[in-house]
Structure 1
Amino acid sequence: MLKFAVVDLETTGGHGEDNRIMEIGIALMDGSEIVETYHALVDPGKPITPFVRELTGITDEMVSGQPQFGVIAEHVAALLQDRIFVAHNVQFDCKYMTAELKRCCIKFNPARLCTVKLSRRVFPGQPSYSLHKLTESLGLPDFNHHRALDDTLAAAAILRSALEKVGEAGVMKNVVNISVAKKQAFNK
């Protein structure tokens, strides 16, 4: 059975080395079943941009006094260990997670699965592959957009739908860093 860590991160800005994680959502899946969830607001140690505040509803006051990433890094790394890292636009989330873990001297190079790319192959012809529009067109439940755990659960629902349609072998064809994936997913 494949083991996944579906992740969504909200960050202080879109791109750039100086932006940081301010919210984390993780859903651990064994096959198509969610077995555990994790959510945390994180003090990014810097102001949240006005655009991101408007988009997410997360304010500087909400993250002030929350643990900084270094406090939760080992726990987050343990949750992600030996699982395929899944996200809707996995390159974005994995880049930020890798950078934050590296700052804490934790090496991170997981097998990765992008639910955008997976959906384009498994559910071709959708009007949009944005998280919100895709869940809508697949008849999945609506959710609180741009909040980490809600986006995580929406991506997990897309992954579950893909697993139902093409099975683990079909999903596995879309995993990158495959040698790590085999070690992590098949040797458990």
Structure 2
Amino acid sequence: MNFVAMDFETANHEKHSAVSVALAVVRDDQVVDEFYSLIQPETYFSARNTAIHGIHEQDVANAPKFPEIWAKVAPLFTEEKLVVAHNAPFDHGVLTGTLAYYGIEQPHYMLLDTVRSSRKFFPDFANHKLNTVAENLGITLAHHHNALDDAVAAANILIYQAQHFGTENIKPFVKNK
């Protein structure tokens, strides 16, 4: 399979509050490239979110704003590209919310949520959180809520699912965005 796994961390509940983004590029069932960046959001930081991911306002003071990052990664978000995320409604929402905040045109791409596919393929897991699924499948997740580690884990979850259940059984989970 060829796809891109994405993960965002946010400063607060607002959809345009991304503080980090990571992408894991998969070609032929292998993670072949990784991208990670802190992001300087134009909003406040909530203590709750900072406690989850450990990113503070001073950590992103000199980070690029999202439009600069988007210019680098936008080619990965096209109609023929599959984008994967664990809890895709959240990450897709952050992407679309941040693009809307900056008045940037929304991309169209195919989206797959590995939470949904994991619920189908692994109904007996205690839950389908990223760390639980990764642990049950023997996938390394060194630092949960580090965007890069989370994106790579999501990529490896889909690779595992495709190898064990077949790509034809993955296709029903793909949605056009």
TM-score (norm 1): 0.86
Match of residue 18 from structure 2: 21
2:128 aligned partner: 129
In 2, distance between residues paired with 1:86 and 1:109?
A: 14
1:65 alignment partner in structure 2: 62
Contact preservation (8 Å) 1:70, 1:104: no
Q: Corresponding residue for 2:71?
A: 74
| Percent of pairs with identical residues | 29
* Cα distance between partner residues in 2 of 1:155 and 1:105: 26
Query: 2:81 matched to which residue of 1?
Result: 83
Amino acid of the structure 1 residue aligned with 2:87 = N
The one-letter amino acid paired with 1:138 is L
Partner of 2:142: 143
Q: Report how far residue 153 of structure 1 moved.
A: 0.9
- Decide whether the 8 Å contact of 2:3 with 2:84 is kept in 1: yes
| RMSD, aligned CA | 1.6
One-letter amino acid of the structure 2 residue matched with residue 96 of structure 1: V
Q: Which runs of 5+ in 1 are unaligned?
A: 181-188
Structure 2: 5+ residue stretches without partners: none
1:93 corresponding residue in structure 2: 91
- Summarize deviations over 1:94-130 as a string: whole Å, max 9, x none: 1111222232422223211000001111222111101
Q: Which moved more, 1:49-58 or 1:29-38?
A: 29-38
CA contact (8 A) 1:73 1:104 kept: no
- For residues 1-188 of structure 1, what are the structure 2 equivalents within 5 Å? 2-14=1-13, 16-17=14-15, 19-81=16-78, 82-102=80-100, 103-177=102-176
Moved more, 73-82 or 38-47: 73-82
- Equivalent residue letter for 2:107: F
In structure 1, C-alpha distance between the alignment counterparts of 2:141 and 2:85, rounded to whole Å: 18
SS of corresponding position for 1:29 = strand
In 2: Cα distance, 1:72 partner to 1:149 partner:
15
* Deviation per residue, 1:123-146 (Å, 9 max, x gap): 221111011111112222232011
State how far apart, in whole Å, the 2-side matches of 1:174 and 1:7 are.
Answer: 16
- Aligned residue for 2:22, secondary structure, equals strand
TM-score of the pair, normalised by structure 2: 0.91
Shifted more, 68-77 versus 78-87: the winner is 78-87
Alpha-carbon separation, structure 1, partners of 2:56 and 2:81: 31
Contact 1:6 1:156 in 2 (8 A): yes
Structure 1 CA distance, aligned partners of 2:75 and 2:103? 13
Separation in 2, partners of 1:156, 1:169:
17
Change in Cα spacing, 1:157 to 1:86, as seen in structure 2 (3 Å) is same
The offset of 1:85, in angstroms, is 1.4
